[in-house]
Structure 1
Amino acid sequence: MANKFAIVTGASTGIGFELASIAAENGYDLLVVADEPLIDAAAADFRSHGVEVTSIEADLATLEGVDRLLAAGGGRQVDLLCANAGRGLGHGFLEQDVADWRRVIDTNVTGTIYLLQKVLKDMVARDGGKVLITGSIAGFIPGSFQAVYNGTKAFIDSFADAIRNEIKEAKGVTVTTLMPGPVETEFFDRADMLDTNVGASDSKSDPADVARDGWEALMKGEAHIVSGWKNKVQATLAHVTPASVLAEQHRHMAEPGSAKK
């Protein structure tokens, strides 16, 4: 058993898979979770690095799912948490089913901050631990045809800044926000956005590069990292561009059928 223990959520694919791989390479025993059976196959990959890996399939949109995840840790001290699980949703808000947009909010917001509260309490009590939260530059942009998702990321980006300040006296605890742009993962397929300009684009970031950026910032204890120079430029411009202009720009990216226009 390694001395270090990490929890990585949303670890079956994409950024979460890459973060868990890096943690395993760095000698962390792992507790990994996703809402699909593929998490067990991912765990087998992580074990190739010679660390102990526990995998669990759980729905982190529910408090019960988060509790199941934490129980699977067996009371072990969490040295590192990568709160990466997230869910997207495309199309116009008025067309979306209530159950679908609620699931996005419950996964990206409710489940995430419940997990953070549980883990951070112990970290602050002992004055030690690292947290990486996957936010997004989408949180800076009014997300036409992706309104609920962008809204949840705006919440997460803001929430992380607030919590970082609240616990600043715990010098041994760091909270880092990873803010990528569009990433080449299953996200756009699952969000039914493959017919959009952003979903069909071949210029999306590599999840391995995003994870490495996040990991490096996490190890340095940095507050934020926007992954990719193009995304850094977009994030900077978002702070000085009128919301109406940003919303129209996002419409061209995310409107259903825009990839065919």
Structure 2
Amino acid sequence: MQTKPLAAVTGASSGIGLELAKQFTENGFDVIEAVDVDLSTPEGVERFYAQVSATGRPLDAIAINAGIGQGGPFATSDLDTDLRIVDLNVRSSVHLAKLAVRDMVARGAGRILFTSSIAATQPGPFEAVYAASKAFLLSFSEALREELKDSGVTVTALMPGPTDTNFFDRAGMQDTRVGASDSKDDPAQVAKQGFEALMKGKDHVVAGSVTNRLMAGAAKVTPETVKARMHRGMSEPGSGDRED
């Protein structure tokens, strides 16, 4: 009996991850979602992938999407949260990718989607650790893509801009200009664009509004110091209360 292809999605309880899970389901995949494991720990990653392996089925696609952020000055931000951002956004992504890539390369087929961000294209004052983690994911995904180009495994980076999820509430960024903005992108649209890019085997997709694509394009020719100053205007605490 022919079975549906199998996909796994992390961070699928809400936001972009939930919408990615819907995209896979609506397009004929069975989906495994991480619900009861802490992916910021190695044990949590191993437990999650054990759930995948327990199906006895090949993993056709994985969306490595789980992530968190924290706003505010690095000098006074909570160190444990900073390190948890590294553990979840970076370490767990590498760990989970290692497990998935080994199996996919051995089989000669598979698709991997990393949720990065347009924040990866610029320094991120007042969310410095988060932006750096997303820059890591973009670089990591592009490097893996080149390594795996003849393996049958594709790697795609999803790069959303500000999206209408609970990210800004959780990160304590409600009073920033970006957090207070009412023009955030629809997570369903972002996920659809990410899914379509994954299925086409694209290297990356800047999802959401045209503004996001313009920002990502401009970032290629803008000095890092200028980008950092521009980002500060969006992410500095209290910037949401300022008039232009």
TM-score range, shorter chain: over 0.9
Partner of 2:19: 18
Partner of 1:60: 39
Tell me the secondary structure at the aligned position of residue 6 of structure 1.
strand
**Is 2:118 the partner of 1:106?**
no
Q: 216, 219, 240: which is aligned to 2:221?
A: 240
Whether contact under 8 Å (1:109, 1:152) holds in the other structure is: yes
Partner of 1:41: none
Q: Please, which runs of 5 or more residues in structure 1 have no aligned partner?
A: 34-55
**1:168-187 to 2 correspondences below 5 Å:** 168-170=149-151, 172-187=152-167
Deviations 1:165-184 (A, max 9, x none): 111120x2111111111111
**AA at the equivalent of 2:157:** T
CA distance in structure 2 between the aligned counterparts of 1:183 and 1:147, rounded to whole angstroms: 19
CA distance in structure 1 between the aligned counterparts of 2:3 and 2:76, rounded to whole angstroms: 49
**Is 2:225 the partner of 1:224?**
no
CA distance in structure 2 between the aligned counterparts of 1:2 and 1:202, rounded to whole angstroms: 43
Partner of 1:45: none
Deviations 1:8-53 (A, max 9, x none): 00001111100101111122111101xxxxxxxxxxxxxxxxxxxx
Partner of 1:250: 231
Shift of 1:160: 0.6
**1:39-78 to 2 correspondences below 5 Å:** 56-73=35-52, 74=54, 75-78=56-59
Partner of 2:28: 27
Whether contact under 8 Å (1:183, 1:206) holds in the other structure is: yes
Runs of 4 or more consecutive aligned structure 1 residues displaced over 3 Å after TM superposition: none
Partner of 2:191: 211
CA distance in structure 1 between the aligned counterparts of 2:141 and 2:112, rounded to whole angstroms: 10
The sequence identity of aligned pairs, in percent, is 50
TM-score by length of 2: 0.95
CA distance in structure 1 between the aligned counterparts of 2:29 and 2:36, rounded to whole angstroms: 20
How many residues are paired up?
Answer: 238
**AA at the equivalent of 2:68:** R
Partner of 2:66: 85
Deviations 1:85-142 (A, max 9, x none): 1111100111112111000011000001100010011101111011111111101111
Q: Please, which runs of 5 or more residues in structure 2 have no aligned partner?
A: none
TM-score by length of 1: 0.89
Tell me the secondary structure at the aligned position of residue 95 of structure 1.
coil
**Is 2:173 the partner of 1:193?**
yes
**AA at the equivalent of 1:229:** V
Shift of 1:245: 1.1
Partner of 2:109: 128
